[in-house]
Amino acid sequence: MANIAKSAQSKNVIRNGGQILAEAIRLNGVDCVFGLHGGHLDSFLYGIVDEGMRFIDVRHEAAAVHAADGYSRSSGRLGVSVVTSGPGVTNAITGAAVANVDSIPQLIVGGAPPIRDEGKFVLQGGVDQVALMKPVTKQALRVSDIRRIPEYVDLAIRTATRGRPGPVYLEVPIDVLFDRIQESKVPKFPAVATLQGSRPSNSLIHKVINSLQHAQRPVIICGNGVFFDDAQNCLREFAERFRVPVFGNSRALGILPHSHELYGGLVSGLNALDDKPDWILLLGGRASQMTLGTRGSSFVSEDADLFQVDVNPEEIGRNFPITDSFVGSIKAFLEEALEVGGQNQPSVSSDWLKSTRAQNFAHDVFEEEALSHTGDLHPYWFGREITDAAPKDSIFVADGSETYHWVEPIAKLDKPGHWLGHGYFGCLGIGHPYAIGAKIANPDKTVIQVVGDGSTGFNIQEFDTMVRHDIPVITFINTNQSWGISAHGQDALTNRRVGTDLPITRYEDVMKSFGGHGEIVRHRDEIAPALQRSIDSGLPSVINVLTDPAIESPRVRKMMKGIRENAGLDDADAQTEKPIAIPYYDPIER
């Protein structure tokens, strides 16, 4: 009789919407939620803690979404954030857009005023938040009944993680979160399962392999789809068997170990080769300006065989005509190719392998310039000393356009998910929250953030979050007293600067004021010891490195050369018929 009574009592347990929401999320393997408090969310916040998940409260809603993004990029798992109604949701829009453009799986929970008050312009109301989120997410949903919370969580996570990954916005109004109901009246949903996808046809695989057998200059180009499909081991086996060099865009750095003989590093290095590839396999990367370049100025020649594999059919054939494609799992495609292709190897020349491998070290040519430099610290040493001194298997987070370019080409990465940068959207300010998310996802690894003095200011308040939650991120700030790439762009256009100069700021003191560790560095030989002291402190740390503001990074130098050679904004150039130079993009042809 006692067991019967206990069972009946369990069925009659009353739970609120926040508790039901937290349980549904936790059942999907989520161990951490990033957010910022708002009264609309209280029942859910209590539920997060009661379900045994960690709640990392940040100081700005944009940082919450970015932190969940960094968690996902570095782990391959779903990131979850929660923001309150009104300005909380609008502050989250940029983070959602970044994740959407880069295809990062996220669940963004948003609060909202009571449904009963819709149209009354109550506190933090008056805006259609779902409509705001639709253009920058994979899907935007709203729960209107407490009974349907698990159903909507299931739908949101399925959408975020299946097919092309991406962020999903799930709005749960305050009256739904605080409503109460008997637990037995709420349908239960199991954790979202991984689907078994289709396999490529034998005819497609034979076509790809046969084409590869005749190629003289083949390459594989990867995006982060390889990482999120857990296909990196298959990729390595395929590359080794068929002797094909592998390149990655910035979302796929480390897809092969830095020391691997077939790893060419950044895909941009292909532009420096004397000969263009004649066979290209694009895996899980968008055929955009930042991966393949733009037609007419790309390393993709008109007569190259271009094969594309992506889970998103919308990506197939974007910007470039392709030879053939497979829509589905990259891992399944590579597994099938390994099985059908046998042990045959194409006759790839050793010269081609040598030239592609050399691109991984192209940045080293700046060492000679840096050695002969007599002014303030050459920023080459900022990147070189940090990457040389970093503990093995460190995760790097990069933020700031000019700073990014001093570190990315020479970071020695052995695994994907160990380089977190701007991505397609080019959003500054992601560094501090990305680093927070990466450290939470990888507590046993050293997380090193390299950030420009301009980008530091976007989310500088998150130094407090690092200290409060004991998240020992090590931040190196490249203080070149400017918005570097913008300042150098203005120099190239007109030799006039407007809004691009910055003063020397003692950012290390800002970290120390929050309770962390901070140092200032002016010389090359001070960088590695400062890094070790930061590690030994066990605290979130800032190492403020003062560098020469006049030095342009290699990539920026190349870009500025193109601007200087074309018509700028000054009066003399304005009278010419030359192409019109614009920062970042191809010139305007007239």
Give catalytic residue positions: 40, 61, 124, 426
Question: CA 581, CA 179: separation in Å to the nearest integer?
Answer: 58
DSSP 478: E
Query: Is the four-CA dihedral 354, 357, 363, 364 of positive or negative sign?
Result: negative
Question: CA 17, CA 228: separation in Å to the nearest integer?
Answer: 31
Q: Among residues 449, 490, 445, 472, which one has the least CA distance to residue 583?
A: 490
Residue with tokens 């499909």: 229
Q: Are strands 14-16 and 180-182 parallel, antiparallel or unpaired?
A: antiparallel
Helix/strand/coil (H/E/C) assignment for every residue in 105-167:
CEEEEECCCCHHHCCCCCCCCCCCHHHHHHHHCCEEEECCCHHHHHHHHHHHHHHHHCCCCCE
Helix/strand/coil (H/E/C) assignment for every residue in 274-335:
CCCCCEEEEECCCCCCCCCCCCCCCCCCCCCEEEEEECCHHHCCCCCCCCEEEECCHHHHHH
Query: 153-188 b/e with 16+ CB inside 10 Å = b?
Result: bbbbbbbbbbbbbbbbbbbbbbbbbbbebeeeebee
Backbone angles phi, psi at 379, to 5 degrees: -65, -15
Phi-psi category of residue 85: left, alpha or beta, with phi > 0 → left and psi -120 to 50 → alpha: beta
Kind and range of the H or E run holding 19: helix 17-26
Structural contact between residues 180 and 16, judged by C-beta atoms closer than 8 angstroms:
yes
Hey, which bits of 143-259 come out as E strands? 167-171, 180-182, 218-222, 246-248
Question: CA 11, CA 247: separation in Å to the nearest integer?
Answer: 56
How many other C-beta atoms are found inside a 10 Å radius of the C-beta of residue 303?
6
Report in angstroms the alpha-carbon separations of 56 from 160, 178, 530. Answer: 21, 22, 28
Structural contact between residues 443 and 71, judged by C-beta atoms closer than 8 angstroms:
no
Q: Which amino acid is at 482?
A: S
Q: Among residues 46, 65, 44, which one has the least CA distance to residue 176?
A: 44
Q: Among residues 446, 442, 445, 447, which one has the least CA distance to residue 432?
A: 447
Q: Among residues 245, 196, 206, which one has the least CA distance to residue 222?
A: 245
Backbone angles phi, psi at 330, to 5 degrees: -65, -40
Q: Among residues 92, 104, 109, which one has the least CA distance to residue 47?
A: 109
DSSP 567: B
Question: CA 145, CA 114: separation in Å to the nearest integer?
Answer: 12
Question: CA 566, CA 585: separation in Å to the nearest integer?
Answer: 12
